[in-house]
Structure 1
Amino acid sequence: MTLHMRKDRTGEAAPAASLPRARGTLDLSTKSRADQSAIDGLRTSGCLRALFPRRQAGVEAIVINTSGGLTGGDRLDLAATAGHGSHLTLTTQAAERAYKASSDIARVQTRLEAGADASLHWLPQELILFEGARLRRRLRADLASDARLLLVEPVIFGRSAMGEHLHDVRFDDRIEVWRGGSPLYLDSVQLDGDLEARMRRPALGGGAGAMASLVYVAPDAEAHLAALRPMLPETCGVSLMREDLLILRMLARDSLNLRRSLLPVLDRLSRDTLPTSWRL
């Protein structure tokens, strides 16, 4: 059988149909009811889903991307709100993967809100960048004056155990934390090109194959500083930016060492309520 491409009126072959791209939205909110946290609203569409394990305190949501990863042209939008007096924890079922993009870039937009006397934990598992990945991420958290936030974003630069090397990657990442309409923390990471060569530079990565950023906003932030410092490897720094704002940046040789260093920190700051998916 012979297949012929349709020609337009000019006699030129029509371009092949564009590949399907993943679209997903998730909108979740919680409320306080009889001294317990409960789901107030939930809407999902496309490739984003959520599971809710039973917890004694707060609502835990496991976000699932059913498309199996991110590639050029994909678009994910997630919004989560911890309402007045409630506690909400969000995590992921497994590591997210950013695959090679044949065209365009993948876009992930996350918007978090925590109301008065609310607590919000954003604890996704690792993002793994593959060779040829093109990814733009934006995360913004808006907090009430007395809200608490624990936020972590771990990133893996290829799987070293699989012999992967990253020589052509574009990663544009931005994290914003606002409180009362004013910026509390702004951080931007832009990595473009030969990532392996750039991370070998002593002033940038010193050969690291993984990194993590952590933000902790709570009245007891200062009390954790002295306890955390002895727990951390030499490739990690933690600072108290203000009495209620703790910032941590970690580099590691690979994903295993990153997780080993992160787990005790997250256990302490989450008061031993880290989602079970982090242990699997």
Structure 2
Amino acid sequence: MRQPRARGVLRLSAKPGARIADLHQSGSLKALFPASRHGILNAVFLNTAGGMTGGDRYAIQAEALEGAGLCVTSQAAERLYRAQPDEIGQMEVSLRVGAGGRLDWLPQETIFFDAASVRRRFDVTLDPGARFLAVEPLVFGRVAMGEVVREGRLTDIWRLRRGGKLLFADNISFAGDVQAVLQRPAVGAGAGALASLLFSAPGAETLLAPLRDLLGPTGGVSLVAPDLLFARITAEDGFELRKRLIPAITRLSGQDIPKTWTL
């Protein structure tokens, strides 16, 4: 007999003046709104189900309207738990930024536990002149707890369009013995955590060299299209990953890291 599964939907849009234009939340996805600074609406989402497993379905839609600023982060690390055979958890994220607006998508780590099975999709739409920053950190088991991911499935699909044109497409897929895959020199070289970082803004190329310095020898960054940077970082564990990510996020956003993030 199939067990009950979690459902959650969060839709949020911001208008100039750090104000909410629209908000809908249902199921186990909720949003909190701490004090805003610098004209940017701060939103913190949380999953009251406590994590995600096979068969769960979540959807987040976030939009910064023309001239508005929005920063979206998570209350805590998301957890991907063991799934039953033939069950896959799904997360659909849709982000949109109007002309002259900005949106920072800065969730904390997603912790992938043994035998988890999840498919996530991120669709980003930018109007001309929009500014966008996204980071997606992944931790495969907690080193301090002796956790090893010997089995699992994870698919991450990213698509970014600016002015109606597809500028960026990226797929990550892990299946089977994730620990063994991460040991491969061309994949993780023994890393237990990784992150993807995407930054789109006028003049983004001027931050290419500084970002390379911040990410260090286990990170790489490229100018993949005009005004669009993409980086991937690997690290031994989640703590070391944060030490690399926080300075990079601060430099690209021009703001302090969300207070939910700590070292």
Partners of 1:258 and 1:73 lie apart in 2 by 29
TM-score when scaled to structure 1?
0.91
Offset, 1:172:
0.8
Matched, 1:160 2:143: yes
2:167–2:225 contact (8 Å) kept in structure 1: no
Partners of 1:162 and 1:92 lie apart in 2 by 23
Q: Which of 47, 72, 78 is 1:96 aligned to?
A: 78
2:93–2:122 contact (8 Å) kept in structure 1: yes
Offset, 1:49:
0.3
Instruction: Report which of the two structures shows the higher radius of gyration computed on alpha carbons.
Output: 1
CA RMSD of aligned residues (A): 1.0
Deviations 1:194-243 (A, max 9, x none): 01111111111100100000000001311212222222221100112234
The within-5 A match list for 1:229-248 is: 229-248=212-231
Letter of the structure 2 residue corresponding to residue 193 of structure 1: G
SS in 2 for 1:229: helix
- Alignment partner, residue 14 of structure 2: 30
Matched, 1:184 2:130: no
- Alignment partner, residue 201 of structure 1: 184
Structure 2 runs not aligned, ≥5 long: none
Matched, 1:109 2:97: no
TM-score when scaled to structure 2?
0.97
2:64–2:97 contact (8 Å) kept in structure 1: yes
Aligned residues: 261
- Alignment partner, residue 86 of structure 1: 68
- Alignment partner, residue 57 of structure 2: 75
Offset, 1:246:
1.0
Partners of 1:210 and 1:170 lie apart in 2 by 15
Partners of 1:80 and 1:237 lie apart in 2 by 28
Structure 1 runs not aligned, ≥5 long: 1-15
2:88–2:117 contact (8 Å) kept in structure 1: yes
Partners of 2:234 and 2:13 lie apart in 1 by 33
- Alignment partner, residue 35 of structure 2: 54
Offset, 1:37:
2.5
- Alignment partner, residue 144 of structure 1: 127
SS in 1 for 2:241: helix
Q: Which of 243, 255, 261 is 1:272 aligned to?
A: 255
Offset, 1:279:
2.4
Q: Which runs of 4+ in 1 moved over 6 A?
A: none
Matched, 1:212 2:195: yes
